[in-house]
């Protein structure tokens, strides 16, 4: 027996394909929405985590800046304390400078030279005196330059020739001089002495270890000071 389908099967097939298309379109749209929502939530989470990290970094920066300020203040306090300590040490060391100064001048003064004046301004000492000749002044400068750990950098100010009367018919030519020399503090003197010992010592005049006699000018020269 032959069966004949008189229903509109083509229309039903088209409707079925259309429904399938709409179903796939809806599923694709839903999947796109879900994917977009997931990406948005992931971006929001990333932004939140980055903001939290940024906040943590800002807090750490503020804390470190405070520590840096505290360290700078502490360093300033340490520098001020060291400055005061150095000032106290210098004052304690400077108490003995006049003793060392007079001792060195007495030890290094050549024969034929004596001092008429001494003035100290800080670490600079100004000397005035009388010598039998210019060579004696040069000898004094050499001793001050090389034979003392306390005195250094002597500079001749001036040297003027003059005449002193030794008797009714006797006169002698002398040299009036002025010079300045730098006196060292205790620490500087020890460092200078240590450097001289390490270098083998500087040439010194014969008998420098024994204090020389004072100027052996005639008595009249000592009593008739200019």
The domain that holds 141 is classified in CATH as: 3.30.1360.100
pLDDT of residue 4: 62
Residues 109 and 218 in one domain: yes
Distance CA 169, CA 152 (A): 41
Examine the fold and report which residue of 95, 122, 144 is the final residue of a domain before the chain moves on.
95
Examine the fold and report which residue of 95, 122, 157 is the final residue of a domain before the chain moves on.
95
CA 21 to chain centre: 85
The count of C-alpha atoms lying within 13 angstroms of the C-alpha of 2, restricted to the half-sphere facing its C-beta, is 2
> Is residue 156 domain-resident?
yes
Is 90 exceeded by the pLDDT of residue 54? yes
pTM: 0.47
User: For 66-123, how does the pLDDT look when each residue is reduced to its tens digit (9 = 90+)?
Assistant: 999 999 889 999 999 999 988 888 777 677 778 888 888 888 888 888 888 888 887 8
> Is residue 81 domain-resident?
yes
DSSP string, 3-39: ----S-HHHHHHHHHHHHHHHHHHHHHHHHHHHHHHH
Residues 85 and 185 in one domain: no
Torsion angle in degrees (nearest 10) through CA of 18, 20, 25, 29: 140
> Is residue 5 domain-resident?
no
Enclosing domain of residue 80: 12-95
Q: CB–CB of 186/96 below 8 Å?
A: yes
Distance CA 145, CA 196 (A): 12
SS3 110: coil
Residues 83 and 155 in one domain: no
pLDDT of residue 59: 93
């Amino acid at each position: 027996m032959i069966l004949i389908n008189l229903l509109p099967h083509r229309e039903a097939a088209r409707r079925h394909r259309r429904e399938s298309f709409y179903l796939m379109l809806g599923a694709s749209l839903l999947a796109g929405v879900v994917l977009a929502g997931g990406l948005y939530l992931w971006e929001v989470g990333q932004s939140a985590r980055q903001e939290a990290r940024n906040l943590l970094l800002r807090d750490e920066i503020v804390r470190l800046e405070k520590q840096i300020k505290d360290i700078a203040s502490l360093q300033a306090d340490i520098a001020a304390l060291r400055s005061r300590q150095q000032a106290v040490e210098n004052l304690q060391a400077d108490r003995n400078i006049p003793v060392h100064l007079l001792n060195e001048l007495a030890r290094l003064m050549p024969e034929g030279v004596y001092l008429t004046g001494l003035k100290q301004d800080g670490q600079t000492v100004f000397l005035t005196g009388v010598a039998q000749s210019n060579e004696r002044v040069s000898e004094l400068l050499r001793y001050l330059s090389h034979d003392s750990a306390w005195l250094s950098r002597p500079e001749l100010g001036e040297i003027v020739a003059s005449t002193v009367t030794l008797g009714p018919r006797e006169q002698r030519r002398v040299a009036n001089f002025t010079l300045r020399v730098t006196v060292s503090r205790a620490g500087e003197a020890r460092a200078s002495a240590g450097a001289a010992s390490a270098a083998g010592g500087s040439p010194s005049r014969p008998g420098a270890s024994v204090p020389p006699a004072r100027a052996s000018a005639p008595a009249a020269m000592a009593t008739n000071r200019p």
